[in-house]
Amino acid sequence: MAVVCPLVNQIATGPIETLATAVPLEWIDYNDHMSEGYYGVAFGEASDALLEAIGFGAAYRADTAGTFYTVETRITYEQELPLGEPIKVLTTVIGVDVKRVHLWHELFNSAGQKAATQESLLLHVDQAVGKVSAMGPSLFTAAQRVRDNHVGLPGHREVGKSIRPVLGS
């Protein structure tokens, strides 16, 4: 269903377009717009596309038993998205160390309006032992390269924020 955009030559120029698709019927809720859970699905596909682009493909997984687990996310919703609306996700690598990748996703509608954002933290895991582990050297180097190219991008006010407590009366 989703079409992953080619990432060639995008790494040095800014956020990477990691997903382009249209909102399908199964993502529509009883309010006639995209249901909140499917924003997470779109962002998950975008994370996977970014990881594939830096070398985290089937061969890496088979050779190393390494994988990524998403351990934390925060989504903000800014625009409703109707059935069939063309959407795209732009992804920025905010931070990387040998065991973690910190991503910032922005989802846009066909008019170029930001519809949602997601901040996510992914951990590299060795599935053979079931523990967090260091990425393979080539994967880590590629992730660092993307992060280094994204350092100068405008900051995102929402990064690192959480939901403020509601203090009831």
Residue 55 included in any domain: yes
- To the nearest whole number, what is the mean pLDDT of the chain? 90
Q: How many domains does the chain have?
A: 1
Residue 140 included in any domain: yes
Residues 130-149: what's their mean pLDDT?
94
Domain at 130, CATH number: 3.10.129.10
Question: 146-156 pLDDT, tens per residue?
Answer: 999 888 777 67
The tally of CA atoms less than 13 A away on the side-chain side of residue 83 is: 7
Residue 141 included in any domain: yes
Residue 2 included in any domain: no
Residues 54-70: what's their mean pLDDT?
95
Residue 69 included in any domain: yes
- Domain span including residue 144: 16-149
Q: What are the φ and ψ backbone dihedral angles of 107, each rounded to 5 degrees?
A: -105, 130
Residue 160 included in any domain: no
Q: How far apart are CA 125 and CA 107, in angstroms?
A: 27
Residue 166 included in any domain: no
Residue 127 has pLDDT above 90, yes or no: yes
Q: How far apart are CA 103 and CA 49, in angstroms?
A: 12
Letter for the amino acid at 108? F
Residue 83 included in any domain: yes
Question: 68-97 pLDDT, tens per residue?
Answer: 999 999 999 999 999 999 999 999 999 999
